[in-house]
Amino acid sequence: MCYISQLPYNADRVHAAAMYCADGRVGEHFDDFMQNGLKLPRYDRIALPGGPACLAGYNQARLEEQGVIDELNFLIDAHKLSKVVLIQHENCAFYAGRLNVRPESMKQLQIADLTRAAYSIRHHTKLEKIEGYYLRITSEGVVFDKVELE
């Protein structure tokens, strides 16, 4: 099979990356938010189960943590990243299944993990411009709330 994309190629970089969960149910929403909400087309993607949770110090994600730090350092150097956007989402299977977090505790922990992940990125890469968001599903649609990272 051969498929030819009808999208034009643009080699310009936006010098930003996003780290989020690999959950395919919200993949298009992540793209929409990054491209249209934050005006960051062609951003670099780091998608894995739990997204930023791998940088929050969990033993269950220690292998992923080192890999993600290595990849971030590579992207910072090769793609001249100046910004990373961290996104957590409601009802994440990584938190429920791998970390055994109860639904009523999940959002609070995920928001705290955004801060821990930002600290880890700053510590290991020296990158300072990091933003955090929490995706929640409402009757009005998929909402991205900004999270202040301390």
Q: Are 72 and 121 in contact (CB under 8 A)?
A: yes
pLDDT band at 89 (very low <50, low <70, confident <90, very high): very high
Q: Comparing C-alpha atoms, which of 117, 105, 130 is closest to residue 54?
A: 117
Q: What percent of the chain has pLDDT over 70?
A: 100
pLDDT in tens, 96-135: 999 999 999 999 999 999 999 999 999 999 999 999 999 9
Q: Comparing C-alpha atoms, which of 87, 2, 81 is closest to residue 37?
A: 87
pLDDT of 94 over the 80 cut: yes
pLDDT of 150 over the 80 cut: no
pLDDT of 28 over the 80 cut: yes
Q: What is the pLDDT of residue 146?
A: 98
Q: How far apart are CA 53 and CA 64, in angstroms?
A: 10
Please list, in sequence order, all residues whose beta carbon lies within 8 angstroms of the beta carbon of residue 143, skipping any fewer than 6 positions away. 135, 136, 137
Q: Comparing C-alpha atoms, which of 63, 79, 105 is closest to residue 18?
A: 79
Domains of the chain: 16-145 (3.40.1050.10)
pLDDT in tens, 42-83: 999 999 999 999 999 999 999 999 999 999 999 999 999 999
